[in-house]
Structure 1
Amino acid sequence: MKQYKPKPIDTKDIVLPTELNNLIEEMSKNVHEVWAETRISQGWTYGEERNDAEKKHPCLVPYEELSEEEKEYDRNTSIETIKLILKLGFKITRD
């Protein structure tokens, strides 16, 4: 089997305007909520340490209770998603 080599679209040239900061934070919270909902539906519960065999995970808490490091993981997902949308030529507007 060939080794998988990820090739994400390069978005380094995209600079996000500061007015998208609230969107980034709301998206990040939602990313976490979707992840947590999926885990819970798979039988996972909160545990102080991650244990795959027992389906325990320390991040099964509200977004506001996550460490900044964990929030950054979700923010990075949101930021890269928004940058890709803009790179592909779409515009983000607020009605």
Structure 2
Amino acid sequence: MEKETYTPAPLDTSGEVLPEALTSLIEALAKNVHEVWAQSRLAEGWRYGERRDDVAKTHPCLVPYEELPEIEKAYDRNTALGTLRFIQAAGFEIVKRK
């Protein structure tokens, strides 16, 4: 039996404009996205290496967020931005605790 072609259908968040108060959250969320990813990789036995090697389990991005190349930070920021836009588009609000 042949599998059907998968067509991703994410919620359209392109029209979502985040309140100014949430823009500072993007960088903090991006850093946390990286930290969670790195923690998971390290728990799986990965370690830092100059090149990604799936067999040797080495990856050049197993460094603190601040040391990542800008292109990697941008990837994490886009993930954070997409997450915040999704939350808003789904009808939720983010409120900072006092």
- Same structural fold, with TM-score higher than 0.5 when normalized by the shorter chain: yes
Shift of 1:5: 1.3
Structure 1 gap segments, 5+ residues each: none
Deviations along 1:42-69, one digit per CA (max 9) or x if unpaired, are: 1100000111111010000000000110
Shift of 1:2: 1.8
Shift of 1:93: 1.3
- Aligned pair count reads 95
Task: Report what 2:77 is aligned to.
Answer: 75
Deviations along 1:64-89, one digit per CA (max 9) or x if unpaired, are: 00011000111111101100110011
Q: Distance in 2 between matches of 1:68 and 1:17?
A: 25
> Which letter does structure 1 place at the counterpart of 2:91?
G
> Which letter does structure 1 place at the counterpart of 2:43?
S
Structure 1 residue ranges, 4+ long, deviating more than 3 angstroms after superposition? none
Higher radius of gyration, 1 or 2: 2
The residue correspondences of 1:51-62 to structure 2 (distance < 5 A) are 51-62=53-64
TM-score by length of 1: 0.95
Shift of 1:3: 2.1
Structure 2 gap segments, 5+ residues each: none
TM-score by length of 2: 0.92
